[in-house]
Amino acid sequence: MEIVVFGAGSLGSLVGGVLARTDEHTVTLVAREPHARAIRESGLRLGGEFDETVTPDATTDGSNLAADLAIVTVKSFDTPAAAETLATGAFDAVLSLQNGMGNEETLAAAIDAPILAGTATYGAILQEPGVVECTGLGEIVLGWLDGGSTGSDSNSSTQATHIGGAFDRAGLETAIAEDMPRRLWTKLAINAGINPVTALTGTTNDAVSSGPAAEVARDAARETARVAEAAGVSLCEREVVTAMDRVATGTAANTSSMAQDVAAGRRTEIDSINGYVVERATALEVDVPTNQILTTLIRTWERGCGVRTA
């Protein structure tokens, strides 16, 4: 397949880099400088589990690209801009592998291609330009938001299976799901617990496996399950806590994306994670005090270092 990874930060570089290990795919990473230049000059080093150097193409200009598949891995606040740029190209399918909610709808509104939803629980960290480290093996789950009916035609489930099979063969453990809304809410609950707690405490993901920080993270995840239930998505509190504990243990040494953002003084995805939970909870009249506190603390930090104005 011809594959474009739009937004090759840590997760995008890992996913694109692993896909570039096989002759089956031609991979182009749309990345920022100096990462794109380093990849063009010396290849992309995959550290950790994959221990290999691969040679995908790399560019900073994502406009007018054509491919079988575009994988979107930009931060959720950059999705509108990514959608606009991707709309100048031509793709048979677009897969969102992003944190937070609402990304698929934003992409679908701008791009004339079937949009697949996905979740990824791999741990990844960009060590330096041209070097990404896999800090925890996880899983990719992908599928159509409505189980298939928004796919371009009756081939939609074949298309998802084809993409999933290609990911698997390259070494990315991938499952196809017909209950993506439920999967996205589960991933939201995992991120709502792990990300702000590790970001505020400057810890790795194992900090939410046990101890007082784990209780805060579990409360945030439980509240998210209650909001999902109120929104008509069947999800129980025990399930999301188990899922979060599994990810925290599986990516124990990983620095969550939000902890990486805070450590680097960058804007975080708080709005589309805990902020989204609070917004939906308010509309559905569900109490989410832990999500409210975590959202307030991260937003206060963002304002304090000038990466947030509102």
Positions touching ligand KPL (CB under 6 A) are 99, 121, 123, 190-191, 194-195, 205, 247, 251, 254, 256-257
Residue 124 CB, shortest distance to ligand KPL, in Å, is 8
Beta strands in the chain (DSSP E): 2-6, 26-30, 44-48, 52-54, 57-59, 66-72, 90-96, 115-120, 123-128, 131-136, 140-143, 174-176
Nearer Cβ to ligand KPL (67/248): 248
Nearer Cβ to ligand KPL (96/257): 257
Residue 309 CB, shortest distance to ligand KPL, in Å, is 24
Beta strands in 97-130 (DSSP E): 115-120, 123-128
Q: Which of 45, 187, 218, 222 is catalytic?
A: 187
DSSP letter string, 149-212: TTSSSTTHHHHHHHHHHHHHHHT--EEE-S-HHHHHHHHHHHHHHHHHHHHHHT--GGGGTSSH
Q: Could you give the CA distance from residue 305 to residue 145 in angstroms, rounded to a whole number?
A: 36
Q: Could you give the CA distance from residue 254 to residue 250 in angstroms, rounded to a whole number?
A: 9
Residue 75 a catalytic site member: no
Nearer Cβ to ligand KPL (247/298): 247
Nearer Cβ to ligand KPL (77/169): 77
Residue 23 near residue 2 (C-beta atoms within 8 A): no
State the catalytic residues.
Answer: 187
